Amino acid sequence: MRGLLFAAGAALALMGPGLAKAETACADLKATKLAHAEVTAAATESQGGADYCRLSVTSRPTSDSEIGVEVWIPVGAAWNGKFVQLGNGGFAGSINSASLKRIAAQGYAVAGTDNGHRAGGTDASWALGHREKIVDYGWRSLKETTEAAKALIAAQKAGGPKQSYFVGCSDGGREALMEAQRYPADFDGIVAGAPANYMSLLFGNAAGQQQALARPGAYLDKAALETLQAGALKDCGGESFIRDPLSCRFDPKTLICKPGQNTGCLTPAQAAAAAEIYRGRKDPRTGRVPLPGVSPGAEALGGGWQAWITGVNQAGIANAAGYQFGSNAFKYFAFQDPKFDFLTMDLGAEFDRAKAIMSPMIDSDSADLSAFKKRGGKLIQYHGWNDPAIPARSSILYAEDLRRTMGDMSGFYRLYMVPGMLHCAGGNGPGNVDWIATLDAWVVGGQAPASVTATGPGGASQLLCPHPGVARREADGWACKVAKR
């Protein structure tokens, strides 16, 4: 009898956390019934001595929808009982299977989506004549992925996950905030990195940047970017990155060439263009700047302004990612006109018309997270101060809007601003943080994070604190000092 009991206990232990019966074989999950979706492939893959059930799903919630979903489920004791849904990037169009595999190797069941179309990350031509596909991209594919993944996990494990997390950066950060706003009951914790949640306004900034650079003599070549970066670093700390961006008041007009000077300086037109990029799009009717511009200090770095704003040279400026995103958005999301030229667009009334069309489908800018907070959800937001794609101050803008709407947020929200980090990663400042582990410790352990340590190459590190004025000071104070605004 004792031997039988031991054998039964061992068998149960192999089933994974909290399961009451043996797992369903991976191949058999192909027969799982899903709402307006089907499992198109199911196969077992092995890595690191563990097995994983890899599933492909196609969901068709409308007659014009074809949403691709991929789910990885660790088999047996390899599963930690938790689920992570990963956000996509750019305009999506594919599934990052390598990232899913990496998260699965950490013990999580994990899922991702192509957001409802197949294309390159800056291509939005798939949206021409397909409004439902824009909706799929904006938010519907996220819910379809969550429902399919949780159903498949329950079918394979005979029970759902104990905790569910959503993690994404860039467009994935926009998606993360979309989840908290539209589907507050779906995830126990969310990580929103460099979120493009003000996406319509970001496209307005892109139009403003490109119109500024297109003026006679205004283009910022490599030498001009190096001059800007050197000037900003000198004015705001003299190190390889700006440690206190909130106190930096760099003015590119101080770099305008003096009489007889022709190197290491800017023309007045170049200085004006740089100032507009730092500022953000100004509404010509009101003078208001709805969304901040890019912060100074990393203009000439690889992955910086050349990648996102200026291109490698003036002839190739249309290849810059920001140019592509903005141009495609106005052509296909807003005006459904492949010939539309955002370089001639009015940045006031015409932009407002575009925003009115796009915003309901793609923006996740609501500051009402009361339902998410009420059910005990936890949200971590982070942003690199030198992000050339999505202005760092846009995250502060959202946090301050949350504070006005929600009041005290210390029990469910944290924002970390990372000095020296570019878009989601990279840059001269240490920016590597295990955000999933940080979130998991908060959700499972109940201890809100105070400071976190970001690491970088060569053992470099820096301490990050919640942005001041967002998280109320706890009774024991913050674990590190942050600059005041």
The alpha carbons of the chain give a radius of gyration, in whole angstroms, of: 24
Q: Is 117 a catalytic residue?
A: no
Helix intervals (H) in 16-170: 97-104, 131-135, 141-157
> For residues 98 and 91, what is the distance between their CA atoms, to the nearest angstrom?
18
Reduce the DSSP state of residue 29 to 3 states and report it.
helix
Polymer length in residues for the chain? 485
Residues 6+ apart with CB under 8 A from 104: 52, 72, 73, 74, 110
Reduce the DSSP state of residue 164 to 3 states and report it.
strand
Q: Is 114 a catalytic residue?
A: no
**Which element (helix H / strand E) includes 10?**
helix 2-13
DSSP letter at 365 equals -
User: Do residues 145 and 85 touch, judged by C-beta distance below 8 A?
Assistant: yes
> For residues 177 and 191, what is the distance between their CA atoms, to the nearest angstrom?
9
Q: Which of 123, 136, 171, 387 is labelled catalytic? A: 387
Reduce the DSSP state of residue 461 to 3 states and report it.
strand
User: Do residues 359 and 200 touch, judged by C-beta distance below 8 A?
Assistant: yes
> For residues 16 and 246, what is the distance between their CA atoms, to the nearest angstrom?
48
173-176: Cβ within 8 A, 24+ apart: 173/87, 173/197, 173/381, 174/87, 174/199, 174/362, 174/363, 174/364, 175/87, 175/88, 175/139, 175/142, 175/364, 176/87
Count Cβ atoms below 10 Å from residue 13 Cβ, excluding itself: 12
Q: Is 366 a catalytic residue?
A: no
User: Do residues 350 and 388 touch, judged by C-beta distance below 8 A?
Assistant: no
DSSP state letters, 45-59: EEETTEEEEEEEEEE
User: Do residues 156 and 73 touch, judged by C-beta distance below 8 A?
Assistant: yes
Q: Which of 170, 295, 327, 395 is labelled catalytic? A: 170
> For residues 197 and 397, what is the distance between their CA atoms, to the nearest angstrom?
11
* 255's tokens: 């770099």
Catalytic residue numbers, as ranges: 170, 387, 423
